[in-house]
Amino acid sequence: MSFQAYLDTIKAIKGKSPEDFKKLAKAKNFLVEGKLNPKVKASEITHWLNQDFGLGHGHTMAIHATFKGKTE
C-alpha cells in the first residue's frame, strides 16, 4: 500500500485528514510549533492513534510520518 493510500483509507474510514490529526496531536503536546516534540517517542503517538482511533500499525506510522513532514 502506498503512503497516499494509507492516508486516503484513514480519511475514508475515520473521516479525519492528516491536518485533523495534527490539531489533535498539538492539543496533546505531541507537536510543538508544528514540529514533533523531541520529548515524545513515536511509540507514544502510535499507541494513542491505535487506542483512540483504532488505527493499525501501518496507518499510525503514516500519520506519524506526516507529523515529521512527509507529504508524499
Q: Is the pLDDT confidence value at 64 over 90?
A: yes
Q: Tell me which residue of 68, 49, 69 sits closest to 58, measured CA to CA.
A: 49
Q: Positive or negative CA dihedral for 2, 18, 33, 44?
A: negative
pLDDT, position 72: 78
Q: Which pLDDT tens digit goes with each residue over 20-62?
A: 999 999 999 999 998 999 999 999 999 999 999 999 999 999 9
Q: Examine residue 37 and state whether it is found in any structural domain, yes or no.
A: yes
> Domain total for the chain?
1
Q: Which pLDDT tens digit goes with each residue over 1-16?
A: 799 999 999 999 999 9
Q: What is the pTM of this model?
A: 0.91
Q: Examine residue 45 and state whether it is found in any structural domain, yes or no.
A: yes
Structural domain of residue 27, as residue ranges?
3-67
pLDDT, position 60: 96
Task: Count the neighbouring beta carbons within 10 Å of the beta carbon of residue 62.
Answer: 23
Q: Examine residue 72 and state whether it is found in any structural domain, yes or no.
A: no
